[in-house]
Structure 1
Amino acid sequence: MPTSIKLDMDTKTRLQRLATSRQRSTHWLMQEAIRQYLEREEQLAQFRDEMQTAWDDYQDTGLHVTGKEVFAWMETWFTDSEAQTPKCHH
């Protein structure tokens, strides 16, 4: 679907310079920039939703894992003595 975008001269110049150095078209760079932006924003929205759900669950149950417990567990990752995921508690 064709879409147009108005860019200021400085942005156009920078885009053209980058396209030339990357041996890509300006069109490709704009598509890639938009794709990456959308992906990042969608991931951020998903993270926010998950955090809200976690907060709501905590408010309802009081169950939690402390940061200290999580960091201790993470320090065992990729070792011969990798620990089990910490259990939630009050």
Structure 2
Amino acid sequence: MATSVKLDDNLKSRVQNLAEARNRSAHWIMREAIRDYVDREEKREALKQDALHTWESYQQNGLHLTMEEADDWLAKLEAGENVELSKCHV
């Protein structure tokens, strides 16, 4: 499937200069840039959806950890301790 993208002259020149510096085609540079962008944005959207789902769940059941509980758990992990996350509570 062929797709065209219209670039202004400045961006087109920048892509071409980068392609030459990297010994790649401008097509390769643009394809990689689009792939990286889509990968990043898909991850961002998944994180957003997960956060919304978590917020909705909290609104329904009130289960949570305090910031202090989460910080304590993270500090123990950072110190190399193999600890499980505390149970959520109301």
TM over 0.5: same fold?
A: yes
Q: In structure 2, what is the equivalent of residue 45 of structure 1?
A: 45
Cα distance in 2 between the residues matched to 1:52 and 1:80: 31
Q: In structure 2, what is the equivalent of residue 23 of structure 1?
A: 23
Gaps of 5+ in 1: none
**Deviation of 1:62 (Å):** 0.7
Of Structure 1 and Structure 2, the greater helix share is in 2
Overall identity of the aligned pairs, in %: 41
Q: In structure 1, what is the equivalent of residue 34 of structure 2?
A: 34
Q: SS of 2:76's equivalent?
A: coil
Cα distance in 2 between the residues matched to 1:23 and 1:66: 52
Q: Over the residues paired in the alignment, what is the CA RMSD in angstroms? A: 1.4
Q: In structure 2, what is the equivalent of residue 62 of structure 1?
A: 62
Cα distance in 2 between the residues matched to 1:5 and 1:42: 21
Runs of 4+ in structure 1 off by over 4 angstroms are none
Q: Please tell me whether residue 84 in structure 1 is matched to residue 84 in structure 2.
A: yes
Code of the aligned partner of 2:47 = F
| TM-score where L is the length of structure 2 | 0.89
Cα distance in 1 between the residues matched to 2:87 and 2:46: 24
Matched residue pairs, number? 90
| TM-score where L is the length of structure 1 | 0.89
Gaps of 5+ in 2: none
Code of the aligned partner of 2:42 = E
Alignment CA distance shift 1:88-1:16 (3 Å): same
